[in-house]
Amino acid sequence: MSKRVEHEITRQMFEPLPMDAAGMEAAGRAAITYWKDAWRRLRRNKVAMTSIAVLVLIVLCAVIIPMVSSYDYAAQDIFSINRHPSAEHLFGADNLGRDLFTRCWEGARVSLTIALVATLINVMIGVLYGGISGYFGGKVDMIMMRGVEIIYTIPDLLWVIMLMVVLGSGERTIIIAIAITGWGSMARLVRGQILQLKQSEYVMASRTLGGRFPHIIMKHLLPNLMGPIIIDLTFSIPSAIFTEASLSYLGMGIPVPLASWGTLANDGAKMLLLQPYQLFFPALLISLTMLSFNMLGDGLRDALDPRLRQ
């Protein structure tokens, strides 16, 4: 049997820290901010980090490949009509002999630009509108929310048709159409959060000290809304991508010879039975991008939820 060896704990085993600011800081636990803690938990989410890597790769390909490709996205080649995927044409060629690999990444640039710009406009309008409605409340809130409900009653397709009559088809028309109809959900989210936060003690203290509406919104309320806003923003981008793809698929999007994922899917659907690869690749990129944004949104929701902080 092994003998138990006991060691006597003596004062010489410890090294006391000096009682100054540096010593107190070394002895204390390192402070961690809300955003650092959120990033730490997001990094532990392998699905969310994989989604970020996929999205970064898609954005880089959309920026770089059309610039370095040996094919022009609009150039036609009668000798490459409906050519299957090969080393020369990685995604094949369409019914006009255009390289689908270049057109898919050019379409990614167009679709992502439309989605990001339209979503940012939605966020700005929704935050401003919902902030005013929630802060003032009462009759102002009732009137403003009825306005949101009226906008929701008009179908999105009708907005697009009216704008196309006035502005014509193109990126600007799609961005305006998505921006007009897409900010309502953000406005409702911000309104509901501000209705809760404006009763907080720090907001009441700011009012007592003479704080006005812009100061209270920018200094106290919006910083506490950044988590829900970022989460909603992440989920809104794939919705805008799908809206653009749907409009372009219906022939109300980007005019020829420009390419977007929606127009490529529309062209590919016409050749589905004969050349299914022409639909497969743009549909794959749309699905992969939307799935990555949704998975990232789920990860951000878990990381930014204060109730899950440890």
Q: For 90-140, what is each residue's pLDDT tens digit?
A: 888 888 888 899 899 998 888 888 888 988 998 899 888 888 888 888 888
Mean pLDDT of 265-287: 87
Q: List all residues 6 or more positions away from 150 whose beta carbon is below 8 Å from its beta carbon.
A: none
| In a domain? residue 79 | no
Q: Is 49 part of any domain?
A: no
- What distance, in Å, lies between the first and last C-alpha atoms of the chain? 44
- Model confidence, pTM: 0.77
Is 250 part of any domain?
yes
Looking at per-residue pLDDT, the higher value among 6 and 303 belongs to 303
At residue 288, the pLDDT reads 92
Q: What is the CATH number of the domain that holds 215?
A: 1.10.3720.10
Let me know if residue 162 belongs to a domain.
yes
The reported pLDDT for the residue numbered 1 is 44
Residue 135 lies in a domain: yes
What's the pLDDT band for 23 if we cut at 50, 70, 90? low
Q: What is the mean pLDDT of residues 247-263?
A: 77
Q: How far apart are CA 193 and CA 135, in angstroms?
A: 10
Q: What's the number of domains the chain is made of?
A: 1
How many Å is the Cα radius of gyration of the chain? 27
Is the pLDDT reported for residue 198 higher than 70?
yes
Decide if 100 is inside a domain. no
- Within a domain: 133: yes
Report how far residue 19's alpha carbon sits from residue 264's, in angstroms, rounded to the nearest whole number: 69
Per-residue confidence band for 56, with pLDDT thresholds at 50, 70 and 90: very high
The DSSP bridge partners found for residue 99 are 93
Range of the domain at 196: 114-310
* Domain-located, residue 188: yes
